[in-house]
Amino acid sequence: MSKILIIAEHLNGKLNSSTARCVSCAQAIKADAIDVLVLADAPDAIAAEAAKIAGVTKVLTVANAANQHALAAVYAPQIVAAAAGYSHVLAPSTTFGKDLAPRVAALLGVAQVSDVISVIDAHTFTRPIYAGNAIITVQAPADQVLVATVRTASWAAAADGGSAPVEALSLSAELPTHTRFVELAQGSSERPDLQSAGRVVSGGRGVGSAENFAIIFKLADKLGAAVGASRAAVDAGYVPSDLQVGQTGKIIAPELYMAIGISGAIQHLTGIKDAGTIVAINKDGEAPIFEVADIGLVGDLFKIIPELEAALG
Amino acid sequence: MKILVGYKRVVDYNVRIQVKPDGSGVETSGVKLSANPFDDIALEEALRLREKGIASEVVVATIAPADAQAHLRNGLAMGANRAIHLVTNDAIQPLTAARAFLKLIEKEQPQIVILGKQAIDDDCNQTGQMLAALWNRPQATFASKVEVNGGAAKVTREVDAGLETIEVDLPAVITTDLRLNEPRFIKLPDIMKAKSKPLETLQLADLGIASGDTLKTMNYAAPAKRSKGVMVKDAAELVAALKTKGLL
Ligand SMILES: Cc1cc2nc3c(=O)[nH]c(=O)nc-3n(C[C@H](O)[C@H](O)[C@H](O)COP(=O)(O)OP(=O)(O)OC[C@H]3O[C@@H](n4cnc5c(N)ncnc54)[C@H](O)[C@@H]3O)c2cc1C
Ligand SMILES: Nc1ncnc2c1ncn2[C@@H]1O[C@H](COP(=O)(O)O)[C@@H](O)[C@H]1O
């Protein structure tokens, strides 16, 4: 019998869609109960969003001023207290979940399965290793709580349509004060979110400069797309780090991904392996990106992008 | 203050990993091994803290088979004062690695432990967080900037939403992200010097760590291949192709 606890991810009072993606993974485990735990300073609005996700059995809230920011050291002991009676604890494999879940697992004294991409049975999963160059099937012991992170790009968000009850929990967990939030410098949020956008336009080192990146943003706006980047473009300072796509950046699965001036290193490709259609624009016809692109166009991006915009009307 | 650095040996990031045809593992014989890129960054950060006068000693540690001595010598050549080799032939999982590091912490009493955010072989991204939990100390993961001020460190973290800054009391565990620094190159004279630096060898089993690994790998498979697509000759053809696919 599986009873699953999903740790909700939220920011600025809004639920992140990674939570609904975890619900899809939980459904694949064929659980008897799928509960969502919301730790926040003011959890009600977030809990109301979570209650609407189809498939959720119950939403549990822990209201505490200490939970205003998602500090793993503060959240983890509360999750351990809430996890009693559950067979699985799931978190998204976003920076939130990656930071938090291993701390929970270690407090519970159990291993963690990172980046679940498919479920074989309640304790057997597949996950990528070596930047996605191999997929392993791992089995966890059935007699322990299973802590796992769910690779969000591999799971569609469970739809709305539920109306789960919301229950306030009071936990007795001692919370540390050794870790303090200072600030969050957020990028501009006017464009679609990179992790959930249906379309993404990414630029690489070939774009050449931060100024030149304006043409990537312009094309993205025309397509209603989010903007991404390769590590080389981020390292060179063209765009902020939260736009990096790849093994050590964001793993995404948009319907349409356009890689512009990106060579297609394996560490980049692992971030887009589940994309619907990959378009590559690169002046080097031998670039490895063309081996995975569904549609390839060889040429100078500075010539092609204006033509593309014109052709888009 | 002393800094302990995790320095794992992994298959070099340039190697194209091949899954063995029988699904029993990946081909590692004859493959180039290097320091995990995030661990080179961890070591570099520790060395910079020493150069700034904040740290006095940098110790690199690895948990690996007996043939990993040359790997540790590289860490010493880069500038670490000492190395500790925890010998085991098993490819251990993060919880066991964290338990082993905790033993080293008890022995060495570091104020800061710097690990990579992830090892690029298992891609687990767990050990630092697990260690911090077992040690009951703060964690500052995915660091892109570290400032140490007396008994605390201010760490900027690369998170999905942007850049988050937190403050942690020391001792603490920090894990590195790619943009924390650019590791220095090892110079020839340093390789000579490293030969006489202390390298301590301990058997993992002697630390009282039974391999607590509980996850069983049942099978290795090559990832599904994306089929090769079509080439178009200009922007107009690209737009037409996207329209055909119903994407525009
Ligand atoms: C541990 C580790 C983790 C990593 N994680 C990531 C990650 O998460 N994400 C990631 O992206 N990378 C990652 N990398 C880096 C990766 O290996 C590559 O170095 C990086 O992806 C290269 O970026 P790029 O394709 O933009 O640059 P390059 O490889 O330099 O390619 C630039 C491309 O632009 C093309 N070009 C140049 N000018 C033009 C023009 N005018 N018009 C059209 N095309 C042009 C060139 O032909 C070339 O193909 C990681 C590396 C390591 C070691
Ligand atoms: N066997 C090991 N030897 C040395 N350091 C390790 C070992 N395993 C994990 N680490 C450290 O933990 C980090 C994260 O590893 P992982 O949790 O496996 O992704 C690595 O970057 C290392 O700093």
A184-193: pLDDT as tens digits: 998 766 889 9
Whether ipTM tops 0.95, in short, is: yes
Q: Which of B141, B178, B218 sits opposite A139 (nearest CB)?
A: B218
Span A112-122, mean pLDDT? 98
Least confident of A165-179, B80-94, B205-219: B205-219
Q: Are A1 and A32 within 8 A, CB to CB?
A: yes
Q: Which of B125, B157, B234 sits opposite A114 (nearest CB)?
A: B125
Q: Are strands A295-298 and B230-232 parallel, antiparallel or unpaired?
A: parallel
Q: Which of B157, B155, B151 is nearest to B169 (CA)?
A: B151
Span A147-167, mean pLDDT? 97
Q: Are A256 and B243 within 8 A, CB to CB?
A: no
Furthest C-alpha separation in chain B: 68
Q: What's the CA gap between A19 and A61, in Å, rounded?
A: 14
Please give the structure tokens belonging to residue B189. Answer: 């004279």
Instruction: Verify whether the Cβ–Cβ distance A184 to B167 is below 8 Å.
Output: no
Q: Which of A131, A140, A266 sits opposite B215 (nearest CB)?
A: A140
The residue type of A110 is: V
Number of residues assigned to chain B: 248
Binned at pLDDT 50, 70 and 90, residue B91 comes out as: confident
The model carries a pTM of: 0.97
Binned at pLDDT 50, 70 and 90, residue A212 comes out as: very high
The neighbouring-strand residues paired with A58 are: A35
Q: Which of A95, A201, A213, A230 to mutate to test the pocket of ligand 1 (most atoms within 8 A of CB)?
A: A230
**CA of A306: how far to CAs of A300, A310, A313, in Å?**
11, 6, 11
Q: What's the CA gap between A11 and A74, in Å, rounded?
A: 16
Residues whose beta carbon lies within 6 Å of some atom of ligand 2: B 6-8, 36, 38-39, 42, 62-64, 92, 94, 97, 115-116, 118-119, 122, 124-128
Instruction: Verify whether the Cβ–Cβ distance A308 to B124 is below 8 Å.
Output: no
Q: Are A233 and A207 within 8 A, CB to CB?
A: yes
Binned at pLDDT 50, 70 and 90, residue B228 comes out as: confident
Assess whether the previous peptide bond of A102 is cis (omega < 30° from 0).
no
Report the sign of the C-alpha dihedral through residues A215, A218, A222, A227, in that order: positive
Ligand 1 close to Cβ of residue A233 (< 6 A): yes
Q: Are A61 and A45 within 8 A, CB to CB?
A: no
Whole-number percent of chain B with pLDDT over 70? 100
The neighbouring-strand residues paired with B200 are: B84
Q: What's the CA gap between B64 and B15, in Å, rounded?
A: 20
pLDDT of residue A172: 85
Q: Are strands B9-11 and B2-6 parallel, antiparallel or unpaired?
A: unpaired
Span B96-112, mean pLDDT? 98
For ligand 2, the distance from its centroid to the CA atom of residue A137, given in whole angstroms, is 21
Residues of B in contact with A106 (CB under 8 A): 95, 98, 129-131, 133-134
Q: Are strands B172-176 and B112-116 parallel, antiparallel or unpaired?
A: parallel
Q: What's the CA gap between B182 and A93, in Å, rounded?
A: 26
Ligand 1 close to Cβ of residue A97 (< 6 A): no
Span B136-161, mean pLDDT? 97
Instruction: Verify whether the Cβ–Cβ distance B168 to A242 is below 8 Å.
Output: no
Q: With b meaning 16 or more CB within 10 Å and e meaning fewer, what string describes B58-94?
A: bbbbbbbeeebbebbbbbbbbbbbbbbbbbbeeebbb
Query: What's the whole-number average pLDDT of chain B?
Result: 96
Q: What's the CA gap between A131 and A267, in Å, rounded?
A: 6
Q: Are A162 and A55 within 8 A, CB to CB?
A: yes
Q: Are B101 and B215 within 8 A, CB to CB?
A: no
Q: What's the CA gap between B8 and B20, in Å, rounded?
A: 23
For ligand 1, the distance from its centroid to the CA atom of residue A134, given in whole angstroms, is 21
| Distance in Å, alpha carbon of A24 to nearest chain B alpha carbon | 21
Q: Which of A178, A276, A295 sits opposite B230 (nearest CB)?
A: A295
Q: What's the CA gap between A157 and A193, in Å, rounded?
A: 14
Q: Which of A282, A289, A298 to mutate to test the pocket of ligand 1 (most atoms within 8 A of CB)?
A: A282
Q: What's the CA gap between B218 and A202, in Å, rounded?
A: 36
Instruction: Verify whether the Cβ–Cβ distance B123 to A247 is below 8 Å.
Output: yes
For ligand 1, the distance from its centroid to the CA atom of residue A265, given in whole angstroms, is 6
